[in-house]
Structure 1
Amino acid sequence: MTRPAPLPHAGADRLPADVYVLAVISFFVAVGFGVVIPVLPVFARDFGVGQLETGFVVSAFAVMRLVTSPLTGRLIDRAGERAVLTVGILIVAASSAAMGAAQSYEQLLLFRAAGGIGSSMFTVSAMTLLIRSVSDSHRGRATGTFQTGFLIGNMAGPAVGGLLAAVSIRVPFFFYAATLVAAAIVGMAGLRGTRPAATTGGHSADPAPAGRPFRRVLADPGYQAALACNFATGWTSLGIRSSLTPVLVVEVLHRDPIWTGLAMAIASVVQTIALRPAGWFVDRVGRRPAMIAGSVIGAVAMLAVAFVPDIWTLIGVLCVYALAVSLMGTAPAATVGDIAGPRSGMPVAVFSMASDTGQILGPILAGVIADRAGIPFAYLTATLLMGLAALASARMPRRTPASSPKETVR
């Protein structure tokens, strides 16, 4: 005899409170990060170093995130997400305050690198907690809500940073430390002891399944596609778009640098608006079609950027790319949660490493290509990687949005 499906109850389609708490935390983290990033290179130059040494300070953060992510995954499995998240945020806070008080370039570099360790702890534990807090059928929307906090913070941060830098070049670093302490307080007060959510519903009384062994997760085509998408997004969004678009605006389109900020700001607004419907699409239509669509749209947009004739076309293309990023930022993360299960520390850590690797390699290799072959060819590397991500996503099994890794539909 077949058991009837449980009847929906009020609030079954709502996201857990932990998701909104994590979104608030991400806002505080992003505001502070946005405050520091514009002034960091200028502060480093005050110590009398060249552009190469300044680049080391900027990249040290991402390098340490990459190196320590596997250790963070293991630490989460032993100590729990909330403890690792809180400690990680406080490490970055201490690092930022120390940077503001640094008296030499060597101190600045050391404190910046230490912040990368804490950032890895925060990023991986927050995503792992997000995965554990929601069911499969809500994971896309939860990821979109979490990332909305980051985007709003990133948009507000640079403006605040400019005002603080007018007071002193060191003040933004202490402001960043203060926002991180606020984020840690929100986390300690707001995050509760939530049991992992059931895989297909929001209120099952059955115990959550154990996490899959990492070697099985790594062999899953869906996880491989998520890694490919995250690497391509890191390379394109955090690497090429951020490093080459300012050069494109000034040297190719012959516009003032202020137009770069305007174009990026408009695209960020579009991405913020698109995240909620993107999360709905990921949960209701599926991870696979979202990842394919996001990769294809991103590939076409990057190809178009390489040949834009004017600033208004560039803004339009970047807005189209923002739609792609809204899908690429939600579907791969949801896929990792579907495949890895509740104990997902190591899978999430490796997933984060894919983006960090793209973020580190993208500006370097694309810069070499831009110098030798021209800026359009550098953007074509993003088109190529997005295309490969689309092919990897097409290899994924056709799963229903709320199915387990073993449940597929023909």
Structure 2
Amino acid sequence: MPRVPLFRRLPADRPRLSRDVKVLGVVAFFVMVGFGVVVPVLPVYVSSFGVGYLEVGAVVSAFALMRFAASPFCGRLIDLFGERMLLAIGIGIVAVSSGLVGLAHSYVEVLLLRGAGGIGSAMFTVSAMTLLLRSTSPGMRGRSVGFYQGGFLIGGMAGPAIGGVLATISLTAPFFFYAGTLAIAGLVGILLLRPKTAAAEDAGAAPAVPLRTVLRDPRFRAACLANFANGWTSLGVRSALVPVLVVEVLSGTPAWTGVAFAIAAVVQTVALGPAGRFVDTVGRRPAILAAYAVASVTVVGVSIAPNFAVLTALLCVYGIAAAFMGTAPAAAVGDATAGARGGRPVAFFSMASDLGAILGPLVAGWLVDVASFPAAFGVAAVFLLIAALSALRMPRERV
């Protein structure tokens, strides 16, 4: 009887994630663990300086606004320093500013330091995504982006739990912990990422694609519109309004929101692998069409969910769609920017999401005040549907 090996070798030609992608996934995990530790503590810490809700919101907005303002300059900085070095510099800025927040003596210091952190965050985000897209082949971009986002999601799930424990020690402990995790992330990046990827060398040898050519590419335009809708809905409306909806409409507690978000995050994390394979094998166009259409219908359902169980189920469906929404547009940007130098196209792509995340909560909150929750979620659904329809202009091709 022939002996069956316990472990089988993978086929030599089976596509594998590159080393840089794996390292970026680890970096993303440490960055998001620290960020998740700080998020539940930050409003309470800012309030301890004797300020009102407006000032608390300003600290949160300062981070996002400075991210948005700094992103256009990141492309030029990548040209000067390279993706690997700018990634480390950006993480270093966030680490130092976060540690100093824990030592701040006034509200103004906290506000300025969080703004500085937003600048560093923009450097990290743009350089990491530029490096990720350049270090992967077209047939692996969806899976690579999915792995990278998986690091963020897993870190985001672990962070708040750790933050709750650290908050029992002191309100400043989470900020020092955040600085530590960022220091680890920066060291991992600077030591393990290759100074220059093979893809970047090929791009440098080939004629550079002008930025205006990239901006006219229907794949890039559809991806930016999709990222704007995703930022408006996922980072803005979903995060800002679902907690309020649970308490005021479903008569639940804030803990219910945490449970629902945690379950949806697990579902989204599990869906990232299949989503990446779909994007790489079936295509970016059908992934954007289907995922954004499903998300559009789902967010409307969230606003009229009759009970907590239905709400959680809908958030899980949205989580599955979000796995595709996070991978397909980024992969499309990689396709459209192949041969383009610097990170300016990726900066535009990142700014689209930031703009949606800044405007989404403001407009949605106003709509809840003057109209209703369905109206606020309905506007988000319209943006998602427009993003889905914009994919129709993308070329019909398999990758």
State how far apart, in whole Å, the 2-side matches of 1:205 and 1:278 are. Answer: 28
Amino acid in the other structure paired with 2:269: T
- For residues 341-399 of structure 1, give each alpha carbon's deviation from its aligned partner in whole angstroms, at most 9, with x where no partner exists: 25250000010000000000000010000011011110101110001101111111112
Q: Secondary structure at the match of 1:155?
A: helix
CA-CA distance at 1:293 after TM superposition: 0.9
2:96 matched residue in structure 1? 94
Tell me, yes or no, if structure 1 residue 114 matches structure 2 residue 116.
yes
Contact 1:211 1:344 in 2 (8 A): no
Contact 1:222 1:339 in 2 (8 A): yes
State how far apart, in whole Å, the 1-side matches of 2:208 and 2:317 are. Answer: 37
CA-CA distance at 1:207 after TM superposition: 7.8
Amino acid in the other structure paired with 1:261: G
After superposition, the Cα gap between the structure-2 partners of 1:193 and 1:247, relative to the gap in structure 1 and judged at 3 Å, is same
1:379 matched residue in structure 2? 377
State how far apart, in whole Å, the 2-side matches of 1:226 and 1:89 are. Answer: 26
State how far apart, in whole Å, the 2-side matches of 1:205 and 1:162 are. Answer: 47
After superposition, the Cα gap between the structure-2 partners of 1:205 and 1:334, relative to the gap in structure 1 and judged at 3 Å, is closer
State how far apart, in whole Å, the 2-side matches of 1:100 and 1:211 are. Answer: 45
Contact 2:283 2:397 in 1 (8 A): yes
State how far apart, in whole Å, the 1-side matches of 2:324 and 2:39 are. Answer: 26
Contact 1:92 1:115 in 2 (8 A): yes
State how far apart, in whole Å, the 2-side matches of 1:391 and 1:369 are. Answer: 25
1:407 matched residue in structure 2? none
Contact 2:223 2:333 in 1 (8 A): yes
State how far apart, in whole Å, the 1-side matches of 2:233 and 2:33 are. Answer: 22
Tell me, yes or no, if structure 1 residue 279 matches structure 2 residue 276.
yes
CA-CA distance at 1:195 after TM superposition: 2.9
Q: Secondary structure at the match of 2:122?
A: helix
Q: Secondary structure at the match of 2:124?
A: helix
Tell me, yes or no, if structure 1 residue 266 matches structure 2 residue 263.
yes
Count of residue correspondences: 389
State how far apart, in whole Å, the 1-side matches of 2:38 and 2:218 are. Answer: 38
State how far apart, in whole Å, the 2-side matches of 1:398 and 1:65 are. Answer: 34
Tell me, yes or no, if structure 1 residue 133 matches structure 2 residue 135.
yes
CA-CA distance at 1:12 after TM superposition: 5.3
1:228 matched residue in structure 2? 225
Q: Which moved more, 1:186-195 or 1:384-393?
A: 186-195
Contact 2:203 2:338 in 1 (8 A): no
Uncovered stretches (5+) of structure 2, i.e. residues with no partner: 1-10
Contact 1:35 1:157 in 2 (8 A): yes
Matched ranges for 1:144-155 at <5 A: 144-155=146-157
State how far apart, in whole Å, the 1-side matches of 2:350 and 2:249 are. Answer: 33
Q: Secondary structure at the match of 2:197?
A: coil
- For residues 126-167 of structure 1, give each alpha carbon's deviation from its aligned partner in whole angstroms, at most 9, with x where no partner exists: 000001111111000000000000000000000000000100
2:302 matched residue in structure 1? 305
Contact 2:64 2:118 in 1 (8 A): yes
Tell me, yes or no, if structure 1 residue 255 matches structure 2 residue 243.
no
Contact 1:210 1:341 in 2 (8 A): no
2:53 matched residue in structure 1? 51
2:367 matched residue in structure 1? 369
2:351 matched residue in structure 1? 353
Q: Secondary structure at the match of 1:253?
A: coil
Tell me, yes or no, if structure 1 residue 288 matches structure 2 residue 290.
no
Amino acid in the other structure paired with 1:222: R
Amino acid in the other structure paired with 1:248: L
1:397 matched residue in structure 2? 395
CA-CA distance at 1:196 after TM superposition: 3.7
- For residues 291-340 of structure 1, give each alpha carbon's deviation from its aligned partner in whole angstroms, at most 9, with x where no partner exists: 11111011011111111100000000000001111001001001111111
State how far apart, in whole Å, the 2-side matches of 1:72 and 1:282 are. Answer: 27
CA-CA distance at 1:206 after TM superposition: 10
Scaled by the length of structure 2, the TM-score of the pair is 0.95
1:38 matched residue in structure 2? 40
Residue of 332, 346, 350 corresponding to 1:335: 332
Give the % identical residues: 57
2:6 matched residue in structure 1? none
Amino acid in the other structure paired with 2:330: A
After superposition, the CA RMSD in angstroms is: 1.7
Contact 2:102 2:176 in 1 (8 A): yes
CA-CA distance at 1:224 after TM superposition: 0.7
1:176 matched residue in structure 2? 178
Amino acid in the other structure paired with 2:334: G
2:319 matched residue in structure 1? 322
2:213 matched residue in structure 1? 216
Residue of 175, 187, 209 corresponding to 1:185: 187
State how far apart, in whole Å, the 1-side matches of 2:208 and 2:278 are. Answer: 26
Amino acid in the other structure paired with 2:389: L
Amino acid in the other structure paired with 1:357: L
2:164 matched residue in structure 1? 162
State how far apart, in whole Å, the 1-side matches of 2:50 and 2:232 are. Answer: 30
Q: Which moved more, 1:336-345 or 1:54-63?
A: 336-345
Q: Secondary structure at the match of 1:330?
A: helix
Amino acid in the other structure paired with 2:19: A
Amino acid in the other structure paired with 1:317: L
Scaled by the length of structure 1, the TM-score of the pair is 0.92
CA-CA distance at 1:205 after TM superposition: 8.9
Contact 1:134 1:196 in 2 (8 A): no
CA-CA distance at 1:193 after TM superposition: 3.0
1:201 matched residue in structure 2? none
Q: Which moved more, 1:388-397 or 1:261-270?
A: 388-397
After superposition, the Cα gap between the structure-2 partners of 1:238 and 1:48, relative to the gap in structure 1 and judged at 3 Å, is same
State how far apart, in whole Å, the 1-side matches of 2:356 and 2:57 are. Answer: 16
